[in-house]
Amino acid sequence: MTIVRPSGEAVARWNTAFAEQTSALYQASKTGDAEAAGRLALSYAAVAQAWRVLAGDLAAPLWARHACAVAAVEFERRAQLESARKSGVELR
């Protein structure tokens, strides 16, 4: 069985985006202000994009690409929620 690994650049992009998202989430949970929500929204969007890059790796198994695509959708949803929160809009 051959193990296929994503490109080092894609993994590095995901690691960087996820580290920023973790930091932004911590800040937002501490302050709860609009600036923190904006930072969190941007970081969620960056993680979503990183997941999309991983989902586009045609060398990866289909199940792994699908899991990455599902994760991208969830992080996009979170980015929208935080953007709305920053704007003072409540989404349902």
Which residues neighbour 44 within 8 Å (Cβ) at sequence distance 6 or greater?
Answer: 21, 75, 76, 78, 79, 82
**Residues in the chain, pLDDT under 70:** 1-4, 89-92
Distance in Å from the first CA to the final CA of the chain: 45
- Hey, where are the domains in the chain? 8-87
Give pLDDT, residue 10: 87
Alpha carbons 33 and 53: distance in angstroms, whole number:
31
Give pLDDT, residue 9: 87
Number of other CB atoms surrounding residue 47 within 10 Å: 26
Give pLDDT, residue 85: 85
